[in-house]
C-alpha cells in the first residue's frame, strides 16, 4: 500500500463572519432590551469578545450572533464559547474562540472520529458512489457495499 499524506482543512469565510458580527452589532444596538446598556461584541483575529450587563444579555447576544451566522451560511461549529467570567462593575464577559481546522483531540471524540478517518483514507462520503460507504467497523478502511434500490 502506498504511503500518502493528507491535510484536513476546515476554514470559515472570514468576510462572512465579519458581516455576521456587524449585523449582530446593529441588531443589539436597535433592540429594546439592550437600550441604555453598554453591550459590546468585538471580533478579533482568532476570537470574539462579548461584554454585557448580565448573563441573560450575554446569552441573548450569542443567540443573535448565531442567527446572523446561519443567515450568512457560516457554520456554528466555528464557535467555541468559553465560560463567562465576571468583569468590573458587575458586568459579565465571555470569550468565544474561532476554530479553524480540525484539532487532533476532536478526532478522538465519537462523533468526529469517522470524519477524520474518512479524511485519512481520502474518502469523501458525499462524493462516494451509490451503495459504497466506509465501513464503520472496519479499521483497514475497506469499503462496505450496501444494496441500493
Query: Rounded to an integer, what distance in angstroms lies between the CA atom of residue 113 and that of residue 116?
Result: 5
Q: How many distinct structural domains can be found in the chain? A: 2
Position 142 scores a pLDDT of 44
**CB 59 within 8 Å of CB 49:** no
Nearest alpha-carbon partner for 115 in 137, 136, 90: 136
89 and 115 inside one domain: no
93 and 45 inside one domain: yes
Domain at 42, CATH number: 3.30.70.990
Does 66 fall in a domain?
A: yes
| Owning domain of residue 113 | 104-145
Position 5 scores a pLDDT of 55
Inter-helix orientation angle 14-30/55-71, to 10°: 130
Query: Rounded to an integer, what distance in angstroms lies between the CA atom of residue 93 and that of residue 38?
Result: 12
Does 24 fall in a domain?
A: yes
112 and 85 inside one domain: no
Does 2 fall in a domain?
A: no
Per-residue pLDDT of the chain (149 residues; tens, 9 = 90+): 556 555 555 678 899 999 999 999 999 999 998 888 889 999 998 999 999 999 999 999 999 999 999 999 999 999 999 999 998 888 999 999 998 876 656 565 555 544 554 444 444 444 333 444 444 444 444 444 455 55
Position 122 scores a pLDDT of 46
β-strand partners of 48: 43, 96
124 and 60 inside one domain: no
Does 61 fall in a domain?
A: yes
Cα dihedral value 26, 27, 32, 33, nearest 10: -110
27 and 47 inside one domain: yes
Nearest alpha-carbon partner for 51 in 62, 35, 63: 62
Position 124 scores a pLDDT of 44
Does 5 fall in a domain?
A: no
27 and 88 inside one domain: yes
Query: Rounded to an integer, what distance in angstroms lies between the CA atom of residue 48 and that of residue 8?
Result: 24
119 and 139 inside one domain: yes
Does 77 fall in a domain?
A: yes
Position 37 scores a pLDDT of 87
Amino acid at each position: 500500500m502506498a504511503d500518502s499524506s493528507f491535510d484536513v482543512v476546515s476554514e470559515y469565510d472570514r468576510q462572512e463572519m465579519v458581516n455576521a458580527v456587524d449585523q449582530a452589532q446593529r441588531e443589539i444596538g436597535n433592540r429594546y432590551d439592550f437600550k441604555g446598556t453598554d453591550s459590546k461584541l468585538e471580533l478579533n483575529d482568532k476570537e470574539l469578545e462579548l461584554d454585557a450587563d448580565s448573563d441573560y444579555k450575554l446569552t441573548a447576544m450569542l443567540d443573535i450572533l448565531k442567527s446572523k451566522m446561519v443567515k450568512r451560511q457560516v457554520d456554528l461549529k466555528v464557535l467555541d464559547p468559553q465560560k463567562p467570567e465576571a468583569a468590573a462593575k458587575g458586568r459579565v464577559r465571555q470569550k468565544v474562540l474561532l476554530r479553524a481546522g480540525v484539532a487532533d483531540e476532536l478526532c478522538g471524540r465519537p462523533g468526529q472520529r469517522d470524519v477524520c478517518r474518512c479524511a485519512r483514507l481520502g474518502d469523501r462520503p458525499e462524493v462516494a458512489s451509490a451503495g459504497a460507504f466506509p465501513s464503520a467497523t472496519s479499521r483497514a478502511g475497506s469499503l462496505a457495499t450496501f444494496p441500493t434500490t
